[in-house]
Structure 1
Amino acid sequence: MREAGAGDSKTLLLIDDDPNLTLLVKDYLEFRGYSVLVANNGQEGLDVLDQTMPDMIICDVMMPELDGYAFVQRVRENPRTNWIPILFLSAKGQSADRVKGLSTGADVYMVKPFEPEELVAQVESSLKAASRLREHPTGRLEEGPTIQVPFDVSLTPTELKVVQLVARGMANREIAEQMNVSQRTIESHVSNMLGKTGLHNRTELSRWAIENNMA
């Protein structure tokens, strides 16, 4: 019997070339109420996206034909799909691998093997964050004039990733856990961005990022 819950009416695209893992993850997610589409590699994943629009993508990194990094880049470059939250599943668990995955454009990086409950928790968290963004179609978190910052502000790749997660409504602690760094490091990045932009708080930073299509 399928377990009803937060997954009802949500469609996930699962991309992995390991048939055993694909079957296990698909069965578990469907049991939790999600509808799951399956692709064996990044190219097949792009073909699926040409036909339908999932609420989230779960993607392996190392795959034939088109690997996870190249797939995510293609998804992020396409205005039609660049909003879709993406979760990377990978056997590569070094800090450099996590940083590369997140910098490429993934929202979450999980290392195999993983606990199914943790996967579901990450999926639900990502879907809630995406839903919060869709509730503000004008790209503004609150009423008010467009945020003004110096025209020559330049963010580092890490700062850009941090501000994207800030704009998704994530706390510094959550961002630190996702990027596998200390909370103090994230606080330092946020402080640096506030200094660069002349903004006063995380709310203004979020609005600025969304209004300038950074998130």
Structure 2
Amino acid sequence: MSVDAPSVLVIEDEPAQREVLIYNLEAEGYGVSHAEDGDEALVVVEEAQPDLIILDWMLPGVSGIEVCRRLKAGSQTRSIPIIMLTARGEETDRVRGLETGADDYVVKPYSVNELMARVRTQLRRVRPSTVGQRIEFANIVLDAETHRVTRGETEIKLGPTEFRLLATFLEKPGRVWSREQLLDRVWGRDIYVDTRTVDVHIGRLRKALCRDGGDDPIRTVRGAGYALG
């Protein structure tokens, strides 16, 4: 898995179904974590902050529908896309799932290829740089497919770490990222890097973006971290 690959949390209590999902998601290059019941799911989401959640409706303990409701009510988790899996095919059940906040709804038994396509669709919305899309903010443009960045008419030369930092900022302009969150997203959870390293690379990114003049688009939030815009 590449450092900045999207992360997916699978919340499914049936072992066979869970393993199939994990296998296929990892084959697509995603980082995958899992939970087996609603209580565990809420803890894992808090710790892992995944980019997308695949959530089974019928779970022991806290139900899938209640997990969905709580996550969509939380300020830190409401923007995480949720694809709900269920054997319930009635229209009233689908409506209930969507009204609770689910972003998509897949009825069992489902086609794995179709589910993977729906995963890509949701990730395209929240992590456009990971699916080769062009993302913009103000006069900054990042083209993930060609790995090019421009500001106005000027092409900006960035190293791979600065490119991933900028992609992270561009995906959620205005969001304040702590140094620890940036380390997890850009360097990876399994790599030890001092938090001061983030400051060094932020400085390099700022220098590159402002090389030909213009305001510094990266905001330092004292005691919290950094944000774009």
1:62 maps onto 2:65 in alignment? no
Q: Tell me what 1:33 maps to.
A: 29
**Aligned equivalents of 2:42 and 2:48: distance in 1?**
10
Instruction: Tell me the CA shift for residue 85 of structure 1.
Output: 0.3
Q: Tell me what 2:38 maps to.
A: 42
Instruction: Tell me the CA shift for residue 130 of structure 1.
Output: 2.1
**More helix, by proportion:** 1
- How does the TM-score come out when normalised to structure 1? 0.58
Q: Tell me what 2:214 maps to.
A: none
Contact kept, 8 Å, 2:6 with 2:127, in 1: the verdict is no
Give per-residue Cα distances to partners, 1:17-74, cap 9 Å, x unaligned.
1011001111111111111101001111111022111000000001111111110111
Structure 1 unaligned spans of 5+: 140-215
Write out aligned runs for 1:87-166 (5 A). Answer: 87-131=83-127, 135=171, 137=173
Identity, in percent, stands at 38
**Aligned equivalents of 2:8 and 2:174: distance in 1?**
25
**Aligned equivalents of 1:19 and 1:110: distance in 2?**
18
Contact kept, 8 Å, 2:8 with 2:31, in 1: the verdict is yes
**Aligned equivalents of 2:95 and 2:87: distance in 1?**
14
Instruction: Tell me the CA shift for residue 137 of structure 1.
Output: 2.6
Instruction: Tell me the CA shift for residue 14 of structure 1.
Output: 0.2
Contact kept, 8 Å, 2:5 with 2:31, in 1: the verdict is yes
User: How many pairs does the alignment contain?
Assistant: 135
**More strand, by proportion:** 2
Relative to structure 1, the CA distance from residue 52 to residue 90 in structure 2 (aligned partners, 3 Å threshold; closer, same or farther) is same
Write out aligned runs for 1:196-207 (5 A). Answer: none
- How does the TM-score come out when normalised to structure 2? 0.55
Greater C-alpha Rg: 2
Give per-residue Cα distances to partners, 1:116-169, cap 9 Å, x unaligned.
110110000011122369646359xxxxxxxxxxxxxxxxxxxxxxxxxxxxxx
RMSD between superposed Cα atoms in Å: 2.3
Structure 2 unaligned spans of 5+: 129-134, 136-169, 176-229
SS at match of 1:25: helix
Contact kept, 8 Å, 2:51 with 2:80, in 1: the verdict is yes
Query: What stretches of structure 1 move > 4 A for 4+ residues in a row?
Result: none
Relative to structure 1, the CA distance from residue 10 to residue 131 in structure 2 (aligned partners, 3 Å threshold; closer, same or farther) is closer
Contact kept, 8 Å, 2:38 with 2:61, in 1: the verdict is yes
Among 58, 70, 75, the residue aligned to 2:71: 75
